[in-house]
Amino acid sequence: MIALAGCGTKYAQPPQTQSPPAQVPTTLPEEPVLLPTLPPATPPEVIRPTTIITTPNEAARSLPAAIALRDQASRAAAADNHSRAIGLLERAIRISPQDPLTFEALAESHLALDQPGTALQLARRALSLNPTAAQRESLTLLAEKSQALQ
């Protein structure tokens, strides 16, 4: 019989060595570390209507884009470019179809191009949109003028 004697290395634990504890600095660096800063947040831009609402119950009838087109058309009409003004005003009506001022401007451009029938229809359409008293008076005069030129 052979007896094997082991040296016991199979289950022997290696000798434990202790490492020195990590040294924590007790003082802070002399210069502070600066973190990047974000620019201050800017508030969102508020779009305010440029039309003046005459009564508290009257809703704004024209969106800012339609107002800008109407302004461009006014400049084109002042330069006797009524065809361009008509194109711009038709775009403005597609954006804000309930604005009597745009219909009035469109009627005036058609009248300037010697188209009183179209101008009369547009003036009547503007009158059906419940304009203010001042607008109603101006539209009534425009309709009468258009009818007289037919």
Check: CB of residue 84 under 8 Å from CB of residue 113.
no
pLDDT at 132 over 50: yes
Q: How confident is the model at residue 19 (pLDDT cuts 50, 70, 90)?
A: low
When pLDDT is averaged across residues 108-115 and rounded to a whole number, the result is 96
Q: According to the model, what pLDDT value does residue 150 have?
A: 86
CATH 3.40.50.720 is held by the domain 64-149: no
Q: What is the mean pLDDT of residues 56-78?
A: 81
- pLDDT-derived band at 55, boundaries 50, 70, 90: very low
pLDDT at 3 over 60: no
Q: Determine the pLDDT at residue 53.
A: 44
**Contact present, 131 and 100 (Cβ < 8 Å):** yes
Domain extent listing, the chain: 64-149
Half-sphere exposure of 79 (CA within 13 A, CB side): 9
What distance in Å separates the CA atoms of residue 139 and residue 142, rounded to the nearest whole number?
5
Handedness of CA 122, 74, 100, 47 (dihedral sign): positive
Half-sphere exposure of residue 121: CA atoms within 13 angstroms, side-chain side: 4
Q: Is the pTM value of this prediction over 0.75?
A: no
Pairwise CA distance, residues 98 & 131, whole Å: 10
For 122, half-sphere exposure in the C-beta direction (CA atoms, 13 angstrom radius) is: 27
The C-alpha atoms of residue 96 and residue 110 are separated, in whole angstroms, by 19
Average pLDDT, the chain: 80
